[in-house]
Structure 1
Amino acid sequence: MRMALLERFRGASLTARALRSSMLTVGGFGSMQALRLLSNLVLTRLLFPEAFGLMALVLVFLTGLAMFSDVGVTPAILQSKRGDDPDFLDTAWTIQVGRGICLAAFAAALAWPMAQIYAEPQLVQLLPVAGLTLLIAGFNPTRLDTAGRHLMLGRVTVIEIASQVAGLIVAIAFALIFRSVWALVASNLVTALAKLVLLDLFLPGARNRFRLERPAARELVSFGKWIFLATVCGFISHQADKLLIGRYLPLDVFGVYNIGYFLASFPMLLGLMVVGRVLIPIYREAPPAESRENFAKLRRMRTLVTGALLMLSALAACLGVWLVELLYDPRYHLAGAVVVVLALTQIPQIIGLTYDQAALAAGDSRRFFVLSLAKAVFMVAGLLIGLEAGGLLGALIGQGVAQIMIYPVVTWLARRSGVWDPLHDAGGCILGALIVALALALNGTAIADLASG
């Protein structure tokens, strides 16, 4: 039995590459999250809660800039028939570099207006410096995307972990010396720079050069126009909580929310990374609508991914309060209840997570945009109604309601793409309901404290 299991991981078959890539992604993500946890444990004792709230605002703005300008270079390389063509890759890289330069300039230009809107003068200095991470990332070689296209992620995983270690060392050193939010900014800069250098030195393949080939540019723009709109909506749906909670509530409460978000988001971020790196190549090479065999293989993989993520969510939802009390400073005690509720709100999203990439793998970025638009609309509505009705707890519950409302749109996309699996979804819903009941029974008092405090 052990030999049969090992054989599944060997060779160049799609199954073997998918299994290896999934394991590497999980291992790498787990290692990076462990490093982030270590960083948080140290930095929460060296810095003040407002520093984490301020850095969260900076990251929201930078993420917004990146997503509002995303033209889908990475998914285009993953799914295109020309994804291994040097001319296509050089054109994609040239577009990516130009985008990075523009983003850094926009970050500097937005610094003063954002400082006025949020009444945080430090943003005038923080945003231009932190925006340099976008410039650095623009120069990342397309060899990174090529490795993802062929599910060869070993070196990529090692490089990402090494970059994170470099950033952690700098963060702790700066925090010890300066005791300010600049420790977090410096950490992000060093992480981005270390990743660029290591990718350039250690990933195999030809180096990119500046080139704009017209057919490649046309393909990238044609595919990317819907990706651009989808990522605008994606920014709204994924960052609306930070934008709105950061605007409605005090900065120290926002810092507490972000500590809770870090612990609760582990299953979802892991799922997004696995799905984003592994599923597009799988859908491209073995379309599930093409044969019953392909559909059966995908069902097994989908069930494994969903089951594992739901179990991780169950751990966060049931043990979140205990984890925060064990690991963090007493100033962050309400973050435990945030972990519990956020973990529960993500259950509907986990159930439908593996459907998103099917449309992209087929080159149908328009339907992917429709789903992203629905997510944005429901998420903003849920947050606004929740904040007005119940403050922080209301915002958390609003996110959960939004995820439930999005599910019919996810089902529509899955059916159109030929990947919908109602048996998988029914099992996920039953398991999710059990997790909700258990978590509420164990943590009802902490949630009540969050409602009153």
Structure 2
Amino acid sequence: MIGALTSRLGGASLTARALRSSLLTVGGFGTQQALRLASNLILTRLLFPEAFGMMALIMVFLQGLHNFSDVGITPAILQSKRGDDRDFLDTAWTMQVMRGFALWLVACALAWPLSLIYGAPQILTLLPVAALTLILQGFNPTKMETANRHLVLGRVTAIEIGTQLLALVIAIALAWWLRSVWALVLSGIVSQAILLGLLWRFLPGDGNRLRWEGPAVSELIGFGKWIFLSTVCGFAFSQGDKLLIGKYLPLDAFGVYNIGFFLASFPMLLGGLVTRKVLIPVYRETPPGQSRENFVKLRKMRFAVTVALLAMVGGFAMLGVWLVDLLYDPRYAMAGGIVVVIACMQVPTIVALTYDQAALAAGDSRRFFILALARAVLMIGALIAGLEIAGLVGALVAQGVAVLLAYPVVVWLARRMGAWDPLHDAVCALAGAALAALALWLNWDAIPPLAVL
């Protein structure tokens, strides 16, 4: 068995590269999340819940700025025929650098109005400083995308894990010294600077230089205009809960919500990372609509990814209350119920997770945008209705309802790409529903207390 596994992992075939990249992505992500959990366990004892609520808001704003200006440089490099061309890569990097500085200026301009909207004067100073990470991210070399394009992720994964470990030490030291949310902000800047230095120094390949080539700009903007709109919608879909619940709850309760969300979202974040890093190259080289052989190969890969993620979701849903009681301070006790509900609501997301990358691999960013728009509109509408009807519990349930309502659009896109697999969806949906029902039954006593938040 070990010999067979080694044989499948070896070589330069697409299957071998996809398997190696998937294992590296899963291992790297798992290690980083374990380090992040260790950091949270220590920091929740050094800092107060309001600090985590404030930092969650700051991160939502930064993510919003990132998404509202994303022209799809990474997926463009992954799918473009010029993805290995030096002039194309340098032009993409130049656009990325310019965008980083522009985002920092926008963050500075937004700090004051956002501090008024959320009634949090600290945002006025915290946001401009935290946004310095956007400038640093702009200088990340395109060698990262090149490694991803060719499914050679070993060194990238090692660098990311090393950076996370250093970030943990820095965050704990700053929290012990400052005892304020500034520890989280400053550690984020330092860790991003360390990551940037390691990427430039240790990734193989030529470094980038400033370059502005007309055809490259045209291709990047032509592909990226729909990605830009898609990421705006993606922000509303993935961060709408924090924007609306952050306004609805006081900062300490929002900090509790964010801890629960962190634990429950592990499987979904892992699945999204695997599909983004692995499936675009796989779909590009073996389009499912091209042959039955390609479709069957992708079906096996899709089943493997979905079953593994559903097993993790079921585990977090069933053990969420116990995990919070075991790991966290009593101030975060209600996060257990939040873990259970959010994990259950992620079942439909995981079932449909692998389809949208087929559109990006085919260069069809317009249909990808249509799906992102449908998801965003349904998510925001469901969250508002859920908060009005049942408060926090309603908002938690709304996240699963919104994904279910968007499923017909997922099917439309998947059929256009020749990727829809109803057998996969039916089997995995039934298994996921059974796991969710069992988890809710086992932990039902933890759900009613959420109504007071």
Instruction: Say whether 1:317 aligns with 2:336.
Output: no
Q: Aligned partners of 1:408, 1:317: CA distance in 2, in Å?
A: 26
Tell me the amino acid that sits aligned with residue 172 of structure 1.
I
Whichever residue aligns with residue 258 of structure 1, its letter is: N
**Residue matched to 2:193:** 193
Q: 5+ residue gaps in structure 2? A: none
SS of the residue aligned with 1:128? helix
* Distance in 2 (alpha carbons) for counterparts of 1:428 and 1:189: 40
Which secondary structure state, in structure 1, belongs to the residue aligned with residue 354 of structure 2? helix
Counterpart in the other structure of 2:326: 326
Question: In the alignment, what sits opposite 1:162?
Answer: 162
Q: Any idea what the Cα deviations from partners look like across 1:194-218, whole Å, max 9, x if unmatched?
A: 1110000000101101001101110
Query: Hey, what does 2:369 align to over in structure 1?
Result: 369
> Shift of the alpha carbon at 1:390?
1.0
Any idea what the Cα deviations from partners look like across 1:67-94, whole Å, max 9, x if unmatched? 0000000000000000000000000000
Query: Match for residue 348 of structure 1?
Result: 348
Q: Distance in 1 between matches of 2:450 and 2:105?
A: 40
In structure 1, what residue type is equivalent to 2:63? Answer: T
Instruction: Give the conservation status (yes or no) of the 8 Å contact 1:371–1:413.
Output: yes
- 1:71 counterpart residue number: 71
Aligned with 1:284: secondary structure? helix
Paired amino acid for 2:337: A
Q: CA deviation at 1:4?
A: 1.6
Aligned match of 2:182: 182
- Match of 2:151, SS? coil
Q: What residue identity is the alignment partner of 1:443? A: N
How many Å apart are 1:2 and its aligned residue? 2.3
Residue matched to 1:215: 215
Decide whether the 8 Å contact of 2:347 with 2:433 is kept in 1.
no
Unaligned 5+ runs, structure 1: none
Root-mean-square deviation (Å): 0.7
- Measure the CA separation in 1 of the matches of 2:288 and 2:410: 17
Q: Distance in 2 between matches of 1:236 and 1:73?
A: 20
Q: After superposition, what is the alpha-carbon deviation per residue over 1:412-433, rounded to whole angstroms, capped at 9, x for unaligned?
A: 1100110000100011111011
- Cα drift, residue 190 of structure 1: 1.5
Mapped to 1, the partners of 2:369 and 2:33 lie a distance apart of 29
Within 1, Cα distance between the matches of 2:244 and 2:451? 18
Trace 1:3-402 onto structure 2 (pairs within 5 A). 3-402=3-402
Q: 1:452: how far off?
A: 4.5
2-side partners of 1:376 and 1:71: how far apart?
18
Separation in 2 of the partners of 1:293 and 1:417? 15
Q: Deviations over 1:365-412 (max 9, x none)?
A: 000000000110010011101111111111101111111111111111
Q: Structure 2: how far apart are the matches of 1:301 and 1:116?
A: 48
Inter-partner Cα distance in structure 2 for 1:436 and 1:56: 27
Tell me, yes or no, if the aligned pair for 1:166 and 1:190 is still in contact at 8 Å. Answer: no
Paired positions, count? 453
Distance 2:324 2:172 in 1: 21
Q: Distance in 2 between matches of 1:242 and 1:451?
A: 17
**Matches of 1:186 and 1:305 in 2, distance apart?**
36
CA distance in 2, matches of 1:187, 1:394: 35
Between the aligned residues of both structures, percent identity stands at 66
TM-score (norm 1): 0.99
Once residues 190 and 29 of structure 2 are traced to their aligned partners in structure 1, the CA distance between those partners, rounded to angstroms, is 19
| Amino acid across the alignment from 1:214 | G
Aligned-partner residue type, residue 112 of structure 1: W
CA-CA distance at 1:42 after TM superposition? 0.2
C-alpha displacement of 1:5: 1.6
Q: In structure 2, how many angstroms separate the alpha carbons of the residues matched to 1:74 and 1:325?
A: 40
Which whole-Å CA distance do the structure 1 matches of 2:111 and 2:167 have between them?
24
Rounded to whole Å, the distance in 2 between the matches of 1:195 and 1:97 is: 16
How far apart are the structure 2 equivalents of 1:168 and 1:415? 44
Letter in 2 for 1:132: L
Once residues 168 and 4 of structure 2 are traced to their aligned partners in structure 1, the CA distance between those partners, rounded to angstroms, is: 40
Give deviations 1:151-171, integer Å, cap 9, x for gaps. Answer: 000000011111111211111
Kindly provide the amino acid, as one letter, of the partner of residue 101 in structure 2: I
